[in-house]
Amino acid sequence: MMIPIGEIFLVDDEEEIRIASRQTFELEGYAVRTFASAAEVLPHITPDWLGVVITDVKMPGMDGLELLSAIRKTAPDLPVVIQTGHGDVPMALKAMHEGAYDFIEKPVPPEYLIDVAKRALETRRLNLENRALKARLDAETDIEFRIVGQSPVARELRRTISALSLIDVDVLLIGETGVGKELAAHCLHDFGNRKAGSFVPLNCGAIPPNLVESELFGHERGAFTSASTRRIGKIEQAQGGTLFLDEIESMPLSVQVKVLRALQERTIERVGGNRLISVDFRVIAATKINLRDAVSKGDFREDLFYRLNVARVAIPPLRERTGDAMLLLHWFLVKMAERFHTQSPSLEPKTIGRFENYAWPGNIRELRNVAQQLVLGLPLDLAEPEVPPDVALPSGLDRQVQLYEKELIEKALERNGGSMTKTAQDLDIPRKRLYLRMQKFGIQK
């Protein structure tokens, strides 16, 4: 079975309890160390230790509450689980007020002890990751801290962006809504030779068609009825810097021809003016559609397409960035917690499993919104509905294989009295994988 990440320190003055608890965890694959007193465990506690402490309350010398207090001075966010007898419940509640992660009453059912430890370890892991991410937020100078991800496609994207940022060439970014095209454009500017100049964005789809030309080129006083003063357009504002044209497919054809001329000659005329103005700028355009199709339909100028399509970068959707979703979620949780002056929330294993198997149709923008909802304690609004339990399985061989797998899990659960731990051991798979397969097939415990 897969060995869980992290370590468990068991503190109890009764040897029998230490032995029994240790065996319980080791059967699940956990790394465990036992201590007979609080004084023995304290030297092993460090601020960055990935683990959890499970301690008894009543012990000779330093008791569980005093141990909790001492641990919080060394590692304030380290989860400490208090084990208590029936008569010690008021003391355990006091421990919760003083920062204990949880308390459990003896005798403890093995499954419950394992579940509490698993949640505590996941909390600790996320806290350490969030702390590391937070330390990086103050200096987002490296592209790895701007385009976050460890998947092969994320690494390739960083490599491409880094290379193109140093070449003074216009770039076309292509990708679905929410994949981070503007972030990529910012990186092309911020890590390039024009970083001292302005980054000037313009969303072509957010401006009425009759105002796009004025927004781009500016206008002279009196150029039209409401032009009471001279206006400097976005292209002039990008002098020495970068002009980012988002949703360029929305640009009217009448403006496209003028943009083509500006790109070819690096000169413009303000609306209502008759003087050529030289402008040194770089263009980064972005689109969520196939511009070749738009050209064939007559919705986009062919000459402008070929002018922009010299250096093109495809921004991958989140579903193709295997493993990056949870990393990005943790990243956004830290940022949102800082923004709203609160703590980054801990995620339950069930929630983590749901996110890991979610398609994220809204890409990074949707994930960022989910992080904000989690930090604010709001109900989650996932765009894609969950798969109902009676969803039709694939036909053919795949269907037969999955039906057989479903039957094996159901029989194993029945054979083990519904125990997730025993069933996972019976099937020789991690508990998390068992849970996810049950969720997929709609199997109720």
Write the pLDDT tens digit of every residue in 300-332: 999 999 999 989 999 999 999 988 998 899 889
3-state helix, strand, coil in the chain (%, to 5): 50, 15, 35
Q: Output the pLDDT for position 387.
A: 42
pLDDT of residue 156: 94
pLDDT range class, residue 2, cuts 50, 70, 90: very low
Question: Computed from CA positions of residues 52, 58, 64, 65, in that sequence, does the dihedral angle turn out positive or negative?
Answer: positive
Q: Whole-prediction pTM value?
A: 0.60
Phi-psi region of 298 (alpha: psi -120 to 50; beta: other; left: phi over 0): left
Give pLDDT, residue 414: 86
Residue 179 near residue 364, CB atoms below 8 Å: yes
Q: Poorest-confidence range of 266-280, 285-299, 302-316, 403-417?
A: 403-417
What region does 186 belong to: left with phi over 0, alpha with psi -120 to 50, or beta? alpha
The first and second tokens of residue 83, run together, are 């084990």
Cα 259–Cα 260–Cα 264 angle in degrees, nearest 5:
115
- Judge contact between 242 and 282, C-beta under 8 A: yes
Name the pLDDT band for 356 (thresholds 50, 70, 90): confident
Task: Kindly compute the dihedral angle of the four CA atoms of residues 137, 141, 144, 149, in this order, to the nearest 10 degrees.
Answer: 40
Residue 393 has pLDDT above 80, yes or no: no
Domains and CATH numbers, the chain: 7-137 (3.40.50.2300), 149-316 (3.40.50.300), 319-376 (1.10.8.60), 396-441 (1.10.10)
E strand map for 279-378: 282-287, 311-314
Torsion sign over Cα 110, 115, 118, 120: negative
Give the model's pLDDT for residue 313.
96
Ranking 42-51, 358-367, 411-420 by mean pLDDT, the lowest is 411-420
More confidently predicted of 339 and 184: 184
Looking at residue 135, what is its pLDDT? 61
State the pLDDT at residue 133.
Answer: 66
User: Could you give the dihedral angle defined by the CA atoms of residues 146, 148, 150 and 153, in that order, rounded to the nearest 10 degrees?
Assistant: -80
Q: How far apart are CA 348 and CA 346, in angstroms?
A: 7
pLDDT at 443 over 60: yes
Q: Tokens at residue 394, please?
A: 């694939």
Whole-number Å distance between alpha carbons of 21 and 419: 18
Decide which of 1 and 293 is more confident. Answer: 293
pLDDT grade for 394, boundaries at 50, 70 and 90: very low
- The confidence band for 195, taking pLDDT boundaries of 50, 70 and 90, is very high
CB burial class (10 A; 0-12, 13-18, 19+) of residue 3?
exposed
Q: Are 212 and 252 in contact (CB under 8 A)?
A: yes
In what helix (H) or strand (E) does residue 10 lie, and over which residues does it extend? strand 7-11
**Tokens representing residue 98 in the block:** 């003083």
Q: How confident is the model at residue 388 (pLDDT cuts 50, 70, 90)?
A: very low
| pLDDT level of residue 99 (50, 70, 90 thresholds) | confident
pLDDT in tens, 216-273: 999 998 888 778 888 899 999 999 999 999 999 999 999 999 999 999 999 999 998 8
Q: What is the mean pLDDT of residues 379-403?
A: 58
Report the mean per-residue pLDDT for the chain.
Answer: 86
pLDDT reported for residue 399 = 63
What pLDDT, on a 0 to 100 scale, did the predictor assign at position 303? 95
Among 184-188, 384-388, 402-406, 412-416, the range scoring the smallest mean pLDDT is 384-388
Q: Regarding predicted confidence, which is higher, 118 or 140?
A: 118
Instruction: Give the integer Cα–Cα distance in Å for 387 and 322.
Output: 20
* pLDDT tens column, 141-183: 578 888 988 899 999 999 999 999 999 999 999 999 999 999 9
